[in-house]
Chain A
Amino acid sequence: MALHETGRVLVVCDEDGTRTEIAQYLRNLPYVVTYANDIHVSANWTELGSSIVLLDSTLADDQSSKFFALRQSVDGNSQVPVIVFALDTEQQEVEKLMQLGADDYILTPTTPVLLQARIESILAITQLRLHEHDHLKDEMTLKLEHDLQVARRIQAGFLPRVLPQVEGWEISARFQPAREVAGDFYDAFMLSQNRRIAFVIADVVDKGIPAALFMALVRSLTRAFAQQNYSLSWTDVLGADTSAPGANRKRQKRTMPSTGTSSLLNAVLLTNNYIVDNHVDDNMFATLFFGLLDPSNGQLAYINAGHNPPFIYDASGNLKAALKNTGAALGMFPNVDYTIANAQMEPGDLLFAYTDGVTEARAASGDFVTEKRLLSLLAEPATSATTLLDRVDLFLQDFMKNAVQFDDITMMAIRYTHD
């Protein structure tokens, strides 16, 4: 983009006399000169192809102010250098214009050679600056892309590298981010000295980098809090007010902790409180399903914090249960009283959990997958968790074809295999 090769000079003035003077100096110089006595006509200098502007100091004060305002507001103008052209007796006017933002000045009388030397030197400096600017921009883009790649790698590290291998159970998962980084995640790990399988699927309600950062937070907190060995639900008795009416009835309502249920409650409740306490202004929230499975008998305890209900199908493809909400999405309200719900899985049963990226996936026509389509896909008996996910995966690929994927797609399938 060598501007000065075009050698276009725009002269901005409002007095014919000065124009004549400038014209005299410029006459024999190798520039294409354009004259403008209306600053609005010359609003877009780059459009005119101007590589430099000569500004006459005799321009009225309000006109020169407008001139510099236009220079700032019109895209590209600020990159075109401005030289003030003035009589050597007008130093005060020159000073004013320099303060307004002119790059240099030349005082008359002068000679064409001196004027050319000044123009060339300013053009050279401008050229250098532009070059440096482009270079910085390229470097920044490269760095951003690199950072994004690293972020993607780190985020992949938040997903479990291996899913728990438990006798009698098969666990499988899929994860397809819509962009470089995602707001969805899934997790599965053992709790209570390998006595329980914990599994989580979550969807941060946003996209891109903000969602990815939040995903990292939610995933880390739930994992860490799940591994805390204390229960929140009922040590409150130490501080409870027994004089309150019905206080004693609390015993019947209070559920005694059983293996892993403290972890389940800790993970959801403490994560919610943390987000509400520290990130309420970020307006971020996440829907999350946290399941706790006893692999010895198929008993499932869970908390569903505003997430799409996972489904349990029996071996013949009958829908046995939809594991509905037991509390609000994480980060929405303080002190949510999350309750633990229970379900039973029998040998042959299959649990399918997903994020709304599945049902809201779109075909090029704009048509959504919808829950109805998903349910009919799931109703066909599957021989394994992987087969089921493959089936949904293939369907989605076919459905979306060349359409853009708008949301992250995450799925998890857990099957109680026959022993």
Chain B
Amino acid sequence: MSKVISVHSFRGGTGKSNTTANLATLLAMQGLRIGVVDTDIASPGIHILFKMNVEEMSEYSLNDYLWGRCNIEQAAYDVTPQLNADISGKIFLIPASVKAGEIARVLREGYDVGLLNDGYQRLQQKLNLDVLLIDTHPGLNEETLLSIAISDVLIIVLRPDQQDYQGTGVTVEVARKLDIPMMLLVINKVPGFFDARKVQEQVEHTYNAEVAAVLVHSDDMMAMGSSDIFSLRFPNHSVAEQYRKLAKRVMEE
């Protein structure tokens, strides 16, 4: 049985997809087989980090699976080679479609969330995955709830921002109700002049939850603009070090 990890943030733009992509890469570098599902169907994006172009994605996407056009494993792409790094494991990405019509259809018709649950299980089995990473849609909706509910680990990404603080409180509460075995907070985009340890203490105290990483705001990260996996290009950066810490923590029992 593989480990299911959901990465969530109550609000958008927190660095959720970057966290997911870096985590997937670092875990794959340990020789693990990783599946990454982009369930942010309304605003997909993680495929950019894995350097997938639109032509490649035009074959099958998560949407095609939901509409019954293919099995979910047919929408899985091995993105390991294009990362140009020494990765002994594998990363399979199941992207969501970026076609306006496809997104509109989801908004219009919705879909049976039961398909996601069955799809996750089938992926783990068919691709022989060690870890299934779910990049969720911000906020709370049904598929996000489902993803959180079936997870072994829930990672909540937040910025030191009042809006994020309040929203995170909601997600934490829900995760507690769903009885998630491991819940980890990742604080992102912390201004360099902040005392990282103090921020961590404050957040841990507020939510009574573990903070697994504090990522200090990085111009290098901003400059990269989600075009690559940060940990691969700046392995010695403190942010990369925090990501490695997170990767280690999620695999602990």
Contact = CB atoms under 8 A, between A and B. Distances in A.
Interface string B167-202: 000000110111100000000000000000000000
Q: Please give me the 8 A-B residue pairs with the lowest Cβ-Cβ distance, nearest first.
A: A193-B68, A229-B110, A257-B114, A251-B179, A259-B114, A258-B114, A259-B118, A237-B177
A251 B145 CA distance: 12
Interface in A191-239: 191-195, 229-231, 234-235, 237-238
A263 interface: yes
Interface residues of B, number: 25
B146 interface: yes
Interface string A243-266: 000011011001011111111000
Given A192-B68, A193-B66, A258 B174 contact: no
A231 B113 contact: yes
B68 A195 contact: yes
9 contacts: A191-B112, A193-B67, A238-B174, A248-B177, A250-B177, A250-B179, A251-B149, A260-B114, A262-B112
B207 to A, nearest CB: 15
Nearest to B119: A259
A258 B145 contact: no
B114 A235 contact: no
A256 B149 contact: yes
Interface in B97-145: 109-115, 117-118, 140, 142, 145
A263 B112 contact: yes
Contacts of A247: 177
Contacts of A259: 112, 114-115, 117-118
B66 A230 contact: no
A229 B112 contact: yes
Given A247-B177, A248-B179, A251-B179, A231 B142 contact: yes
Main secondary structure of the interface of B (DSSP, over half): helix
B142 A235 contact: yes
B177 A242 contact: yes
Contacts of B174: 237-238
A240 interface: yes
Interface in B60-84: 66-69
Contacts of A234: 145, 149
Contact of B146 (A192, A238, A248, A256): A256
Chain A: interface size category: 20 to 34
A409 to B, nearest CB: 34
Given A238-B174, A242-B176, A229 B68 contact: no
B150 interface: yes
A203 B24 CA distance: 54
Contacts of A250: 177, 179
Nearest to B145: A235
A188 B114 CA distance: 20
Interface in B39-69: 66-69
A262 B110 contact: no
Interface of B: 66-69, 109-115, 117-118, 140, 142, 145-146, 149-150, 173-174, 176-179
Interface of A: 191-195, 229-231, 234-235, 237-238, 240, 242, 247-248, 250-251, 254, 256-263
Nearest to B66: A193
Given A193-B68, A195-B68, A258 B118 contact: yes
A389 to B, nearest CB: 30
Contacts of B149: 234, 237, 251, 254, 256
Contacts of B110: 229-230
Given A234-B149, A251-B149, A262 B178 contact: no
B37 to A, nearest CB: 16
B100 to A, nearest CB: 20
Nearest to B109: A229
A344 B193 CA distance: 62
B208 to A, nearest CB: 13
Given A235-B142, A256-B146, A256-B150, A192 B178 contact: no
Given A230-B142, A235-B142, A260 B177 contact: no
A256 B112 contact: no
Contacts of B177: 237, 240, 242, 247-248, 250
A229 B69 CA distance: 18
A236 B104 CA distance: 27
A248 B113 CA distance: 23
Contacts of B176: 242, 248
Contacts of A240: 177
A5 to B, nearest CB: 74
A194 B114 contact: no
Given A242-B176, A259-B117, A259-B118, 10 more contacts: A192-B68, A193-B68, A229-B109, A231-B142, A247-B177, A257-B114, A258-B114, A259-B114, A262-B113, A263-B112
Nearest to A195: B68
Contacts of A238: 140, 145, 174
A274 B14 CA distance: 42
Contacts of A262: 112-114
B200 to A, nearest CB: 25
Contacts of A195: 68, 115
Contacts of A257: 112-114, 117, 146
Nearest to A191: B112
A342 to B, nearest CB: 14
A258 B114 CA distance: 4
Contacts of A191: 112
A253 to B, nearest CB: 11
A273 to B, nearest CB: 19
A191 to B, nearest CB: 8
B117 A258 contact: yes
